Amino acid sequence: MKPAVAMTLGAGAFTVILGGYLIAYATTVREPVAWKTGDLIVQDSNVEGMLPVFAADGSGMTHVGLVDVTPDNGAVVIEVTDTVRETPIREFIARGKDKAIAVYRLEALSDAQRKATITAARRQLGKPSDYYLRRSWDAFYSSELVHLAYGDIGFDLGRMQKISAIAKD
């Protein structure tokens, strides 16, 4: 075989293989981050019309959940919608405004502490949403669930405030 023909066939084979790889890479669904149990995932859940006070801080982030990485279901979010529930991570992300999220990880936590936060959150599964933002462990809004779960391991995430204090700001 002549060298020019061999080079042409080799270049053609390389192009086909590279093209296949690029198509496969472009169509593969990837996670936005390497999830870890206990991560906090935050998004804008478009609730400002219903509860304008959530827009008060100006961050654009109005909903938070706890990530749990499970061997069976992959990454899920323990969150409060109409009830405290477990949601597949992709469904959680898709529901947010522009699919934008922020992820926060407390690096100082041990694996046991991370699992304990999820255990505390899972104990609340099925409890109703607290549309009136009352201080009660009988019903929850999203940041209240996170506060309880991390408080269960002795980690204080923020402070509880009355809505009237936030509304004044």
Q: Write the pLDDT tens digit of every residue in 94-144.
A: 988 888 888 999 999 999 999 999 999 999 999 998 866 667 778 888 888
Rounded Cα distance between 66 and 151, Å, is: 13
**Confidence class of residue 36 from pLDDT cuts 50, 70 and 90?**
very high
Q: So what's the pLDDT on residue 97?
A: 82
What separation in angstroms does the CA of 142 have from each of 40, 53, 54, 130, 133?
11, 14, 11, 9, 10
Phi, psi angles (nearest 5°) of residue 145? -65, -45
pLDDT beyond 50 at 28: no
Q: So what's the pLDDT on residue 9?
A: 63
Mean pLDDT of the chain: 77
pLDDT beyond 70 at 151: yes
pLDDT beyond 80 at 155: yes
Q: So what's the pLDDT on residue 47?
A: 55
pLDDT beyond 70 at 68: yes
As a dihedral over the C-alpha atoms of residue 77, residue 115, residue 149, residue 124, rounded to 10 degrees, the angle is 60
Q: So what's the pLDDT on residue 139?
A: 82
Residues 6+ apart with CB under 8 A from 40: 64, 65, 66, 67, 103, 104, 105, 146
Q: So what's the pLDDT on residue 141?
A: 81
Q: So what's the pLDDT on residue 122?
A: 95
In the chain, pLDDT over 70 holds for what percent of residues?
62
**Confidence class of residue 78 from pLDDT cuts 50, 70 and 90?**
very high
Model pTM score: 0.71
What's the rounded mean pLDDT across residues 69-89?
91
